[in-house]
Every structure is written in structure tokens, then in C-alpha cells.
Structure 1
């Protein structure tokens, strides 16, 4: 009986100590623009949560249900008001969110920007950007297609106004030297399919298509398949999903650009924690992409997606 009492007391003490440690640990808020339906953002969240677990810090992940800049402003305002130890943010609309981010810095809250807005992040007080050079990646996609024989490109943009996606298209258009256009859509799959089919019917010179993520690319796959054009055009995308990787592995897509979202989430938490605890911060931004997944490497990457890492 005495032995049982001792064990119960020890367990209760350990629980109290654990609770106290949790109460004293750093608290970080991550705000992204990603929709729950997009597999990309589940990987970012997994990376961030893995880092928080390993470090023993508290992480609050917040995002709007759809791409909504006004809602992101509200989330950022609420985050600042709660006085966290640090904020990790996707800067999708610098005009709408930059002043708030600068306000957080003025109040002594460190801010790390991930994924979007790297070109102006430091202008608004960010301590670091972790992600991909979106413009460069779009340009590299165009150059890759031109090397493989393409002459007229089309960029399918499902979120105009998202600075990261806009930069991808801008880089793509620049890479084609003016021989490319942008097709603006919403995230509605039916609209994407119908808009693309109508555009290609009126612009038969297009021989290269770039999607900006699974939300637009998967409907493009369906549209091209229904028209018998899948595998007949140069075709690539940003970001990965199981369906995209299967299409690449089958040789019906030329590439998928991986910006390694797990690293964006993971390094976002690790980096801001190192700054809060030790005032350590990399001197230059951390670029996580572009990394091209091709038919030769797709099967290996598929195995990693099953683990929620790619």
C-alpha cells in the first residue's frame, strides 16, 4: 500500500512539473493562408508541429478556411494582441498585412515569414524569410520547358492577388520572353477545367502549361485528359500531391516543383525559437526550393509523401 501511495504521489508530482514546464515554455503562433483542402499546408503544419514537439514549445496554428486576406489580418491582429513570444507568418499581401507585421516588431515580437512575401519581408521588419524565390522558380520552369522544345506558355493562376503565386507567373512569363500568358481562375475545379479548355480551343499555339499548386493543377490534369492532350504538351506544376506525383511518375507531366513545405514549417519554429532563447538568427534567408521532381525521381518522392514529409 505504501508502495502504491508513493507511485501515485510521484505521478502527481511529475504531472505538476510537466504542467509548470508547459506554462513556462515559449508560445508561438503560425498564421498561414493555406486551405485545409490543400495537402501542401498539411505538410507545413506537420513540420511545424514536429519542431514544436521536439523543442517542447507551444505552437498555435491558425489559417482561414479559404484564401481571405481580410481574415488573415484579423488573425494577425488577434495574434499580436495575445502577446506571443514570436509569430510565423505567410506574407501573402504585403499591402494589407505589412503594417501589422511592422507593428508586431515595434512591440518586440519577433516575426519570421515563411512561404510567401520573401521579396519584401525584411522591408516590414521580418527577421528572416524561409521559403522559395518564387520569381526565380517560375523563370526556371519556363527555361526548362523551352529547352525541351516549348515556344508558347500558359500559367494557370487560381489565386490572383496572392503575391507568391503572382510572382511564379511573372517569372514564368519572363522566362518565355513574352511568349506566354496568364489564365486567371478561382479555386473551383469546374471553372478551372472549363476555362482551360476554352482558352486552349482559342489559343492553339500553347504548347506548355504551368500550374501553381494542386488546387489548380489537378483540374488541369482532368481537362487535358478529357481533351486527349495529357502527355501531348509540356506540363509542369508547383507543389506536390499524390495525384500530381502519380501523373509525373507515369510520364504525363514533365515535372513538379517542390519547395519542401515540411522544412518551411519545421525551420520556421526552430529558427524563431533559437532567436527567442539565444538571439541567434541566420544572416541570410533560407531558401527551401525550387527542387524539381521528374519522372525519374517521382517514385522515391511518393514514398516520402506517405510519411507526410514531401
Structure 2
């Protein structure tokens, strides 16, 4: 036993120190990498503040550098217009969801910009006013935002954090743009197909074809927008025992209760959180209009109204 102890005493301790130094070095590298990553994310967040949440355009393109927050109440000018048109939306998230079908309530400032440009503001204004104006939405679809990565389009930086120099147009650059455009078209098509599929699934869940009246039975050829306003946004039939959600969407009571039970506690139209206890009756003026509608008898060969 004494010989073993002597042998242990004579063994060099250098490998242990080397291992300890190696671990310390790895920890230092991890800390440096973490700090660099944090700096990149912070720089990415700062860059996002110069871009529009909706179209992705830069505020620098506007000579007046105008921008509007995506959260909070609408400005006085828009509020006056909405009040004139008797619209209920009073906050930017509601308006952006209504006009551009964008839900900004769950946005993160490290991924999404927190403002939108004045051009998109003008698109909203044009939608709710009858005044013609030369404003065009610059994209076929809204901008899709992603977390920061090594090939980040927002930062447009190299691995050393230096902005890439603008390159002269080349055939390869044109090919890259075509690939990006084709990919965007595929994403938009897949998204539209997903919406169609989810709508057909909800119609199968409600299965109310035999108990609710189709809009085709209306005796008067009403405008399309009016027909949509009196239709359930799930089954697309004429509203039966209508209820209103907190996000101001109308459904048949039976349809929305079935969907909330099976799909989940959110509005089928905008995915805003919704519970059965949130459902209320629409205003009396709307109900009186709904009750005055005349429809043809759904029984075959019956022409009574």
C-alpha cells in the first residue's frame, strides 16, 4: 500500500492542469460566442425599427420619415374617419387585422418591427374613405418575418458583422431573385390552401346544411358585402341565432360553440382568444335588419316566400 501511495505521489499533475485549462478555455469561448450572439440580436432588433411591419419597406424612403406604431390606439385623424364611417375598431391591431389580415398581438420585438410606414397607413385610410388617392400596396402579400440568422435579410451582414457591399447586377443575381420570388409564390399558395382546408374542416364540424338557410334563398339580389355581413363566417349560411365575439365577428351560435369545443378557444376568423362566455348578442339594429330579410321556402318545388 505504501508503494502505491508513493507511486501516486510521484505521478505528474500536469494532465489535470491541462484539462482544467482546457475547460476554462471552452467556457471563455462560450461566453464570447454568447456575447457576440447577443450583440447581433440587439443589432437586428435596432435594424427592425427602421422597417415597416406590413410591407417591409424602409422608413428612410419617406422624406418625412413618418411611421405609426402597430400597437395602441389609432391616431386622431384615423379615429375621426372611423367614427364618421361608424366603424367599431379603435386600436391599430384591430385595423391591421381587418385590412391586411395580420395579427400583431403576439409580435416579438426581436423578430417583428414595431411600426408601419405611412404608405400602409394610407392604404388603411383609403379602405375606409371614398376619396380616390394614388396609393398602392407594394406587395402581393404581407412581409413574413423570421428570427435573426447568419443569412439574415434584415441585417444584410457578413460573418464579421460588416455590411456587404452592393454588387453589380449579374445573371446569378437575377436567378437568385427568381428563386426567391418562386419560393414566395409557393408559400402564399400553401397558405391559401391551408385556409381553404381549415374552412372545409369547420364546415364538416358544424354540419348544419339541413338546419340553416343558404344565402342563395334570399329573394333580393343584395350586394356581396351585405350578404357576407349577414352570413356566418364558419358555415356561410344566413346567421341563425347570431352571436358576436370580442373581436367583432358574427357566427351562428351553434356553429361557434361546436368549433370552440373541438378546434380550441379562439376565433375561427382571426384566431383571437375567444371563449363561450365572451359571446354576446349583436346590436338590436342589426338583428332588426336580419329579421326583415325575406327568403324562399327551402322545400323543393315550393315558391312561397
The answer to whether TM tops 0.5 is no
Structure whose residues are more often helix by fraction: 1
Using structure 2 for the length normalisation, give the TM-score: 0.31
Structure whose residues are more often strand by fraction: 1
